Structures are given as C-alpha cells and as structure tokens.
Amino acid sequence: MQIRRLVLGIAAVALMPVAAMAEEVVLKVAHFLPPVSPAHTKFIEPWCDKIAAESQGQLKCQIYPAMQLGGTPPQLLNQARDGVADIVWTLPGYTPGRFPVSEVFELPFFTTTHEASSRAMWDFVQKNAMREFAGVKPIATWVNGPNVLHFRDTEVKTLDDLKGMKVRAPSRLGNKLLSALGATPVGMPVPQMAESLSKGVIEGALIPWEVVPATKTHELTKFHAESGDVRAMTTATMIFVMNKKKYDSLSPELRKVIDNNSGRETSAWVSAQFKAADADGRAATVARGNTVYQIPAGEMAKWETAAQPVTDEWIKDISAKGVDGRKLRDEAAALVKQYSK
C-alpha cells in the first residue's frame, strides 16, 4: 500500500508541470499598423504585459501587426468574430453600416477630450449598441484625437480653399463631413494613405496626429490645419474586442483578468495613450518645419454650420431603423458633457 501511494504521489508530481502548461493560453492579437506605431508600443503591448502579469503567465499574447494574419483592415472585425484572431484592434468605420448607433461619436463637432469622450462612448455602447458587437466581447471602446487636415501643397484656410480637393476620409461620416465642406472625399484605411499621398491620388488626409510619424505623413505633406475648437471636427471610433467563444472558454479566474482590464477606465487609459501619441506626432511635424496652423474661429463657425446636415441626416437615418435617433444623439452628447466636467 505504501509503495502504491508513493508511486501515485510521484505520478501526481510528474503531472503537475503538464497541468500548469495546459493552463497557459496564447491569445492571437491582430491589428493593421506596423509594430513601431504608438498603438502597438503604447497600448497593445502594455495591455498584453498587464494581463500576463495578473494571470501569473497563464495568459500570453502573440501579436500580429500590419495584418500579418492576412486579409485587409476592413476584415479584422470578421477575423475576431470567426476566431481567425482572438483579439483585434480595429475601426468600426472600416466596416460601414455595421455600427450605425455607436457611430454617433463620429459626428462633426461632437466629442471633446480623448478620455471624457471615450468614457462616454463606453457607457453609451453598453446601454445602446451591444447588438453591434455580436460574437465579440468589447474590451475597450474609445475615440482617437481630433482629426486634423493634412495637405500636400496647399494651405487651406477657408471653405473656398477646400472646395473640390481630394481628401482621404476615415469613415462613412468622415466622407459625409468632407462632402458637406465641399471637398471630394476618398475613403481608405490608413495603410493605403501614404502611397496615395505620395502619388498625388489624394491632395490631403483627415487623420489624427498620432498616426503621422508611423505613416510618414509629415514627410508627404506641408500644411496642417487644426480646428482650434474644444470639440473635434471629427474623430474615429475605435474598438478592442475579443472573440466571445474564446473568452467563454477561459477559466473563471482568467476571465476575471480580462474583465479587470476591460471597461470604461480601460477605454480612457487607451485613449490617453493616443493623446500622448498625438502630442508626439504634432511635435515631429513642427520639428520638420511644416506649417501647422488653426482655422480662425469665425471661419470655423462656417464649417460647423456647413456640417450640420451630416448630423441631421444621421438622426433621420437612425430613426428610419425604428429607434429615436435624436434621443440617442442627445444621450451621447449628455454623456460627453458629463465626463468633460
């Protein structure tokens, strides 16, 4: 009997490393920018390091930047839903029509600071837009910084200057905004933008400062127009989501680690990393000697008036889907105001 117990004890000890190894979960994390981008180094890597530490090494990330799992940026959401990737960072604007309610945060002159607007977006999505996240678990939802107009060769200061110019737009509402302002919008993901600028396919781009260094936009443009308003001319919504089946397959302890690194404050933290990257991108542009300027307040008021039909149309379109578009817009605006205090 003693020998049998000894043998069983030895066997149990021998199996312990195997059990421990079985607990390790490697999460495939995919996104569309190069590994030198601030999103990769300041947000995704630190988040992965944090869940690894809090899970005592049981959760690990294998990061696939620059679409290394294949496909194109607009396919990232499906990759997360289908399990090609376990977690993705992407822009809802890359898949027009799939996030019609949460799109409210991309309306012109709607959002304020990174953190306040991102906290507002998390609360709003949890209450009003979870149907848009079928098949995935939201880890964070946020807005990037105020989008700035970057131009190759022209210093644009008025609506007349902008008229007819071919400008890259970040999303469906970005397209509509540029059209309302008189420009000719050209929708495309960020990775395609640099080549289009260098070849003159587009004359400008509507993007936040943070993507400028990674895409070399400051080397391809000379003039950079900021709105100068506390409210952004427009932003892009962003999401960090996990395959729901993968999340459900985790042990309760590991799900708790994911939960502890998800939510309103995680969304605000992510947006703060983009805020810091915005400052770095602007500084790099100024250091290069490019012209950075603000549209005068009186002129910007004309831009805001010209953009109002974009909001009116969004309300009408959402209401046609059987929900109260104006109520949703007002609720989102109230949340932005609440967190901006």
pLDDT for 25-53, tens place per residue?
999 999 999 999 999 999 999 999 999 99
Under the banding of pLDDT at 50, 70 and 90, the label for residue 327 is: very high
Q: What is the mean pLDDT of residues 244-265?
A: 98
**Higher-pLDDT residue of 12, 282:** 282
User: Which DSSP symbol is given to 295?
Assistant: -
Any idea what the Cα angle at residue 255 is, between residues 250 and 259, rounded to 5°? Answer: 155
**CA–CA distance from 29 to each of 72, 86, 93, 246, 264 (Å)?**
15, 6, 20, 12, 21
Summarize pLDDT for 274-305 with one digit per residue, the tens.
999 999 999 999 999 999 999 999 999 999 99
The single-letter DSSP state of residue 66 is: T
Distance CA 36, CA 191 (A): 13
Measured over the CA atoms of residue 52, residue 54, residue 59 and residue 64, the dihedral's sign is: negative
Q: How far apart are CA 330 and CA 145, in angstroms?
A: 21
Q: What angle do CA 225, 174, 74 make, to 5 degrees?
A: 120
Cα dihedral sign for 88, 91, 92, 96? Answer: negative
DSSP 146: P
pTM comes to: 0.90
pLDDT of residue 10: 45
What does the DSSP 8-state code read for residue 135?
Answer: T
Number of residues written out for the chain: 341
Of residues 131, 25, 38, 126, the one with CA closest to residue 89: 38
Q: Is the pLDDT of residue 3 over 90?
A: no
Which of the four pLDDT bands, split at 50, 70 and 90, describes residue 170? confident
For residues 86 and 91, give the distance between their C-alpha atoms in angstroms, rounded to a whole number: 16
Would you put residue 228 in left (φ > 0), alpha (ψ -120 to 50) or beta? Answer: left
CA 36 to chain centre: 17
255's CB contacts (< 8 A; 6+ apart) are: 247, 248
| Mean pLDDT value of segment 106-118 | 97
Q: Which CATH architecture has domain 148-234+290-339?
A: 3-Layer(aba) Sandwich (3.40)
Higher pLDDT, 20 or 33: 33
Give the whole-number percent of the chain exceeding pLDDT 70.
94
- Helix residue ranges per DSSP H, 24-133: 38, 45-54, 76-82, 114-128
Percent pLDDT > 90 in the chain is 89
C-alpha atoms less than 13 angstroms from C-alpha of 136 in its C-beta half-sphere? 26
pLDDT in tens, 93-102: 899 999 999 9
Domain boundaries, the chain: 148-234+290-339
Residue 106 is given by DSSP the state G
The predicted-structure confidence for 120-165, as pLDDT tens digits, reads as follows: 999 999 999 999 999 999 999 999 999 999 999 999 999 999 999 9
By DSSP bridging, strand 59-64 and strand 25-30 are: parallel
